[in-house]
Structure 1
Amino acid sequence: MKSITVASLQEKFKLEVLSGGDRLGREITKARAHRPGLEFVGYFDFFPMERVQVLGRKEINYLHKLTEEERNLHIGNVVKYHPPCFIVTSNQEGLKYLTIYCEQEGIPLLRTSEKTTEFIAKLDAYLMKALAPEIAVHGVCVNVSGIGILLRGKSGIGKSETAHTLIRRGHRLVADDIVVLKKLSPQTLLGSHNETTREFLALRSIGLVNVVRLYGRKAFQDESRIVLDIELTHWQDNTLNNDLELEPKFSEYMGVRIPYIEIQLQPGRDVAGMIEAAANNWYLKQQGYSAAEEFMKRLEDEMAGG
């Protein structure tokens, strides 16, 4: 199971440490934060104790109004489950009693100036990516007109050269050689780099190039949702068809199915152009448009008119 530490969370969001500075090595294993409002009033069914606990104005104002005896009961009932940490939003003050409870149980207490709703949205997005299951595959990841594509093929087939042509046409590199795939949901696969190869593209006969230095900031982006898996293969005579609409094929990564397309290479074939066409065609299909259906309708209309 993947995990991150409270320390990495504190550094990422520049959180102020109010208590438990020596406990920032505690691990976080669950995505999505939790606001323990119901738990403070005594309802603990389905309490997600493994999650980061965020205290907004509602929770803190409620605690402020309690007597010392009531606080001992309600706060004590929550901290005894030892969640990874508590984060107070909106720079709220008057937290001495909360600090004492956290110190007694060894739980980090942190604070941010951001508003609750905005902070939770950022925190959940970060945790979802940081804790997502991931694998590394050999290939190239590019973003073509806003559409993420995983480009695969045998070593030396021309993946990086094709990516370079796409970059020259205004598209973006995400990763070369090693593509890190993260499963954000049963339907969502995110492609990224492994930090070491960030912005680099390896071109045979040329060497390693930095696409940002060569073509500017617009030539690169850190991540992209993968919606097409395109494999470059060597040309084989009499294996390609020219059907109006091909039977859809899929690849599967960590249980996520991605549409698969094979593009065979031959001298003079505009591979980058075909990838652009595949990306734009995928987008049109998402909008409910099919070129094959429109063509058949035209034939039917022509036959009916004749």
Structure 2
Amino acid sequence: MRSITVEDLAKKFSLKVLAGEDQLQQTITQSHVHRPGLEFVGHFDFFPTERVQILGRKEINYLHKLSKDERKIRIGNIVHYHPPCFIVTAGEEGLTYLTHYCKEEGIPLLVTDRVETTSEFIIMLDAYLLKNLAPQISVHGVCLNVFGVGILLRGHSGIGKSEIAHTLIGRGHRLVADDVVVLKKLSPRTLLGTHDEKTKEFLALRSIGLLNVVRMYGRKVFQDETRISLDIHLTKWQKDSLNNELEHDAAFTDYMGVKVPSIEIQLQPGRDVAGLIEAAANNWYLRQQGYSAAEEFMSRIEADLTEARKDQ
């Protein structure tokens, strides 16, 4: 199971530590946060104790209104479960009592000075946790964004994936990762492609060497991540193996349980593979809009046949 530390959160969101400075290496394994409103009034049936606990203006105002003894009971009931940390989004004023209880239990207490509302902060934090705690694998290939469509380009080493990627970059598309592509499963239907940091912005071309595409062509040719929509497998040319079919049967590649539409493109000298990848990206987009060129073509044929029958 993947995890991050409370210290990682503190650095990422510039959080001030009020308590638990020696506990910042506690791990976080859950990709969603929790606001313990019901728990403060005594309902613990579904308390997700392994989540980051967010205290916004509503929770803090409620605690401020309680008597000292009542506050001790309410806070004590929650800190007893030892969540990984508390993050307060309502400022640090009047939090002496909360700091005291967190210090006693060894629970990090952090506060944000960001201007976002609690809901906005939770959205950003959830997104960060989701990406960083998502199951992931690394695959050999190239990841690109072509016309806004995330593409995973695969094939045997030396088949020309990086050279094709370079051509696509020259046509205005964006590189995400070369050689090592990190795939993150964000949901049962969402696969994110990104780099492994070491290869960020680099493209390796045989006979040329390693290129930094951002330094050579500008920031616009690179992006950090993209949702994978197409898996394209580059293979060697096989004579008489390709038929001019109107539409191929749907094929998919499974990555961690996420099925990605897959197509095969065979390579041959003189074949515009970059153009075929652009066509595949555009065709995928049209299919998402409910359009099929094959279906429209067949409907025209049927219309012509119907007219011919009428004229007989």
**The TM-score by the shorter chain falls in which range?**
over 0.9
The residue aligned with 1:64 is 64
Aligned residues of 2:177 and 2:200 also touching (Cα < 8 A) = yes
1:90, distance to aligned residue in structure 2 (A): 3.4
The residue aligned with 2:3 is 3
Instruction: Provide the secondary structure at the position in 1 that maps to 2:269.
Output: coil
1:278 aligns with 2:280: yes
1:113, distance to aligned residue in structure 2 (A): 2.2
Instruction: Work out the CA distance in 1 between the residues paired with 2:294 and 2:47.
Output: 52
| 1:163 maps to which of 157, 162, 165 | 165
Instruction: Provide the secondary structure at the position in 2 that maps to 1:258.
Output: strand
Instruction: Provide the secondary structure at the position in 2 that maps to 1:18.
Output: strand
Instruction: Work out the CA distance in 1 between the residues paired with 2:129 and 2:201.
Output: 24
Aligned residues of 2:60 and 2:90 also touching (Cα < 8 A) = no
1:92, distance to aligned residue in structure 2 (A): 4.4
Instruction: Supply the AA of the counterpart residue of 1:243.
Output: E
Aligned residues of 1:57 and 1:92 also touching (Cα < 8 A) = no
1:35, distance to aligned residue in structure 2 (A): 0.2
The superposition leaves residues 258-286 of structure 1 with CA deviations (integer Å, 9 ceiling, x where unpaired) of 00100000011000000000000000000
1:40, distance to aligned residue in structure 2 (A): 0.3
| 1:122 maps to which of 124, 137, 162 | 124
Instruction: Work out the CA distance in 2 between the residues paired with 1:213 and 1:271.
Output: 26
1:169, distance to aligned residue in structure 2 (A): 0.3
Instruction: Provide the secondary structure at the position in 2 that maps to 1:194.
Output: coil
5+ residue gaps, structure 1? none
5+ residue gaps, structure 2? none
1:301, distance to aligned residue in structure 2 (A): 1.0
1:91, distance to aligned residue in structure 2 (A): 1.9
1:103, distance to aligned residue in structure 2 (A): 0.3
Aligned residues of 2:235 and 2:265 also touching (Cα < 8 A) = yes
Q: In the TM superposition, what are the counterparts of 1:143-158 in structure 2 within 5 Å?
A: 143-158=145-160
The residue aligned with 2:197 is 195
Aligned residues of 2:21 and 2:108 also touching (Cα < 8 A) = yes
The residue aligned with 1:15 is 15
The superposition leaves residues 132-176 of structure 1 with CA deviations (integer Å, 9 ceiling, x where unpaired) of 000000000000011100000000000000000000000000000
Q: What TM-score do you get using the length of structure 2 for normalisation?
A: 0.97
The superposition leaves residues 202-241 of structure 1 with CA deviations (integer Å, 9 ceiling, x where unpaired) of 0001000000011100100000000100010000011111
Instruction: Work out the CA distance in 2 between the residues paired with 1:13 and 1:148.
Output: 28
Q: Specify whether residues 71 and 90 from structure 1 end up closer, same or farther in structure 2 by C-alpha distance, changes over 3 A only.
A: closer
The residue aligned with 1:174 is 176
Q: Which runs of 4+ in 1 moved over 2 A?
A: none
Aligned residues: 306
Q: In the TM superposition, what are the counterparts of 1:53-92 in structure 2 within 5 Å?
A: 53-92=53-92
1:180, distance to aligned residue in structure 2 (A): 0.3
The residue aligned with 1:141 is 143
Q: What TM-score do you get using the length of structure 1 for normalisation?
A: 0.99
Instruction: Work out the CA distance in 1 between the residues paired with 2:245 and 2:113.
Output: 59
1:303, distance to aligned residue in structure 2 (A): 1.3
1:93, distance to aligned residue in structure 2 (A): 1.4
Aligned residues of 2:55 and 2:90 also touching (Cα < 8 A) = no
Instruction: Work out the CA distance in 2 between the residues paired with 1:134 and 1:212.
Output: 26
| 1:256 maps to which of 238, 255, 258 | 258
